[in-house]
């Protein structure tokens, strides 16, 4: 293998990326353990100890035992975040405290057309809005 330094580089990169993927998986599982609502304190402690003491075996057992519910919890969290974001956008968009100039002009034109204000009052209001 020493005759092929490029191949050595390839293998080193492959092992490095596999190690990084392993760390991502391990952190994802640990975060799922702590954010899981259906596990009690002892269950969380047991899974954490298993995953940290016997990492390969613990991760594989966790994925087999709780992999499907792990995905469902992630989807549920994403939906809750999306709903919270949409609710925030609706609240923010609905709370425009001041009507626009066009809306106010339309209101004054309606009052003028109904006879509630005179032409002179309409022109004063319009001049005041436009300045």
pLDDT digits (tens, 9 = 90+) for 13-59: 999 999 999 999 999 999 999 988 888 999 999 999 999 999 899 99
- Residue 27 is predicted with a pLDDT of 92
DSSP reduced 3-state for 48: helix
**CA dist., res. 76 & res. 18, Å (int):** 29
For 73-85, what is each residue's pLDDT tens digit? 999 999 999 999 9
- Residue 30 is predicted with a pLDDT of 92
N-terminal to C-terminal alpha carbon distance within the chain = 82
Whether 128 has a pLDDT exceeding 60, the answer reads yes
User: Do the beta carbons of residue 57 and residue 65 sit within 8 Å?
Assistant: no
Whether 2 has a pLDDT exceeding 70, the answer reads no
**CA dist., res. 42 & res. 45, Å (int):** 5
The share of the chain scoring above pLDDT 70, in percent, equals 94
Whole-number average pLDDT of the chain? 87
């Amino acid at each position: 293998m020493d005759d092929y330094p490029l191949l050595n580089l390839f293998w080193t990169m492959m092992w490095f990326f596999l190690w990084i993927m392993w760390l991502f998986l391990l952190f994802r599982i640990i975060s799922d353990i702590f954010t899981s609502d259906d596990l009690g304190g002892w269950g969380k402690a047991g899974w954490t100890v298993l995953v940290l003491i016997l990492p390969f075996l613990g991760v594989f057992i966790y994925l087999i035992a709780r992999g499907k519910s792990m995905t469902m919890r992630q989807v549920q969290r994403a939906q809750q975040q999306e709903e919270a974001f949409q609710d925030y956008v609706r609240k923010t968009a609905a709370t425009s405290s001041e009507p626009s100039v066009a809306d106010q002009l339309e209101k004054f034109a309606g009052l003028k057309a109904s006879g509630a204000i005179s032409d002179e009052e309409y022109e004063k209001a319009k001049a005041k809005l436009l300045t």
